[in-house]
Amino acid sequence: MKNWRYIAYTVIIAIAILFPFYTGTYLQHTATAILIYLSLALSWDMLLRTGQMSFGIAGFFGIGGYAAALTHLKWGIDPLLSIILGGIAAFFIAFLLGLVVLHLRGMYFAIVTLALAEIFRVIVRNLHSVTGGPEGSVLPSAIFGGDPSKIYWLILAITITTILVSEVFQKTRIYFATTSIRNDELVAKSSGIDIFKYLIFVFAITSAIQGIIGSSYAHQYAFVTPEETFHIHFTLLPMAMCLLGGMYTTMGPVVGALVLGTIADYLKLQLPYGHLLVYGVVIIIVILFMPRGIVGTVRERLERGK
C-alpha cells in the first residue's frame, strides 16, 4: 500500500518535470501560474495549522518581489541569488514583526497582517528614490531570457520544496506542536510547548516561502509596481484555493489550487465575457456541497463508507 503511494508520487513528479517537453508555451505558462498560487495557498495553510490566519500573503509576496528586483537592479546580483535574497528579506521582516504581532490571535492577527501588507505597499509607493515610487521599477530582462520551460522548472522546484516543507511540518514534532497550539494553547503550554517560538518559526518560514514566490514572480515578468506586486488577489486567491481544497493538510491546498486554477483557465477560454462570474459561482457551489473542502469532505465520505 505504502509502496504504491511512493510510486504514484514519483510518477506525478516525473510527469510534472517532463511537462514542458510535451506541451506548448501556453500550457507551461498556465501551469506556472497555478503552481505559484499553489505554493502560496500551501504556505498559508502551514500557518493556518497553528490556528493563525494571515491576511498578509500579498505583503510578504511583495516584499520578496521588491527585494529581488531591487537587489538585481541596483547591485546586479544574479537573479537566482536575488530570489533567495527575497526569501531571506521576507523571513527577517516576518521574524521581527512576528515578535510583536504573534501575541495576537484570531481576527486581530488577521487584521494586523492585512494592515501590515497595506503599510508595506504604502511605504514602497512613497519611497520614490529607492523603489521607483508608484510607477515601480522595470528589470532589463526576464529571468532565463523569458524561457517558459526554465521558468516553469524554477517555479516547480519552489513548489516541490514547499510541498516537502509542508510534509516535514506534517510528519515531525512540528505537526504535534501546531495541532496542539491550534486546538488548545493551554494544553500546549502545559505539555511543554514553547508556543511563541513555534509561531514565530512557522510565520517566518511561511513568509519566506511567500517572499521567494514573490521574487520569482517579479523576475518572471521583469517588473514590480506597488499596485500589482502587492495586489490583494495574492492574498485572497490562495486563501480561496486552500479553503476550497481543505484545510490543515498538504493535499488540500494542492487539490484546491489545481481545481480552481484549472477551472479559471478553462472558463477564460470558454467564456471571454463573464468567466469570473462563473468562477465565483463555482466557489459557492463547491462550498455548499463540500463544506469541509474537497479533500476533507471526500475523506469524510470515505471514512463513513468504511
Partner 1 sequence: MNNQRCGSFEYPAPLIYLGLKLLDKLRYKNYQIAITLIIGGVVLALWKPFVLIEGLQVAGLYASIALPMALILGIVGIINLAHGDFMMFGAYFAYWFTVYTGADPLVAIFPVSLGLFLIGMATYRGTIKYMHGAPELIQLLLTFGISIVLQQLANLFWTSQPVSIHVGYASASATIGTFTFGTYGFVYVAAAVILFIGLFHFLRHTRIGQAALATGQNPTGAKLVGINIDRIYLLIFSISIALVGVMSVLFLTRHSIFPHVGGIFTLKSFCLAAMAGLGNLTGILWASLILGLGESFVKSFMGYAGWADIIFFVLIIVVIMVGSYRRRVK
Partner 2 sequence: MPILETKYLTKTFGGLVALNEVCFELNENEILGIIGPNGAGKTTFINVISGVYLPSSGKVVFHGKDISELPAHIRCKLGIGRTFQIVRPLQGLSLLQNVMLGSLFGRGYSLKEARKEARGICEFLGLAQIERDIAKLTVLEIKKMEIARALATKPKILFLDEVMAGLNIDETKEMIESVQKIRAQGISICVIEHVMSVIRELTERVIVLDRGEKIAEGPYEGVSDNSRVISAYLGEEE
Partner 3 sequence: MKGKWAALICVVCVLIGLMGFSGWATAQKLPAGEPIKLGAVLPLGDITGAQAAKAMKLAAKEINLKGGVLGRPIEVIVMDDEMKPATGATALDKLATVDKVDVFIGGMASGVHLGQIPTLKKYAKVTVWIGAASHKVEEAVGPDSDWYFHIHPWDYLQGESYREGWTAINKKYPHIKIDNWFMAYEEGAFGTASYKMSLDLYKDWIKIKGESFKSALLGGGDYRAVLRHAKEANPDVFIWLAYEADAMGFMVQAKEIGFAPPLFIGSPPGWPAGFGKSPVSEAVTVYGMWAPAIKEVSDVSKHFLEAYTKEYKEEPITYFCPLGYANVYVVAEGIKSAGTVEKAALISALKKTEYKSPMGEIITFSPSRIIKNQGIRKQKILQYQGGEQQVIWPFEFATSKPKYPLPGWDKR
10 near partner 2, rule: CB under 8 A: no
Phi then psi for residue 222, to 5 deg, are 60, 30
User: Which region among 65-73, 127-135, 170-178, 221-229 touches partner 2 (by CB under 8 A)?
Assistant: 170-178
128 Cβ neighbours under 8 A, 6+ residues apart: none
**Interaction between residue 177 and partner 1 (CB under 8 A):** no
Q: Which of 53, 56, 100, 32 lies closest to 207, judged by CA?
A: 56
Beta carbon nearer to partner 1, 172 or 262? 262
- Distance in angstroms (rounded) separating the CA atoms of residues 165 and 147: 27
Q: What does the radius of gyration of the chain's CA atoms come to, in whole angstroms?
A: 19
Which does residue 10 touch among partner 1, partner 3, partner 2, none (CB within 5 to 8 A, set by kind)?
none
**Residue 102 half-sphere exposure toward CB, CA atoms < 13 A:** 22
- Contact call for residue 264 and partner 1 (CB under 8 A): no
Does residue 123 interact with partner 1 by CB under 8 A?
A: yes
Q: Give the position of cell 514590480.
A: 224
Query: Counting contacts by CB under 8 A, is residue 262 touching partner 3?
Result: no
d(CA 297, CA 302): 9
- Cα–Cα distance measured from residue 257 to residue 227, given in angstroms and rounded to the nearest whole number: 23
Give, as ranges, the residues between 119 and 158 that touch partner 3 (CB under 8 A).
125, 133-136, 138, 141-142, 145-148
C-beta separation of 227 from 212 below 8 A: no
For the chain, the distance separating the N- and C-terminal CA atoms, rounded to the nearest angstrom, is: 17
Residue 189 in contact with partner 3, rule: CB under 8 A = no
Of partner 3, partner 1, partner 2, none, which one sits near residue 173, judging by CB under 5 to 8 A according to partner kind? partner 2
Residue 236, contacted partner among partner 1, partner 2, partner 3, none, CB below 5-8 A by kind: partner 1
Which residues, listed in sequence order, are joined to residue 223 by a DSSP beta bridge? 138
**Nearest to partner 1 of 109, 223 (CB atom):** 109
DSSP 139: -
Q: Of 36-44, 116-124, 146-154, 190-198, which part binds partner 2 (CB under 8 A)? A: 190-198
Judged by beta carbon, residue 14 or residue 277, the one nearer partner 3 is 277
Whose Cβ is closer to partner 1: residue 52's or residue 215's?
52
Q: Which DSSP symbol is given to 23?
A: S
By CB under 8 A, name the binding residues for partner 3: 24-26, 28-30, 33, 36, 125, 133-136, 138, 141-142, 145-148, 217, 220-223, 225, 227-228, 231, 233, 268-278, 281, 284-285, 288-289
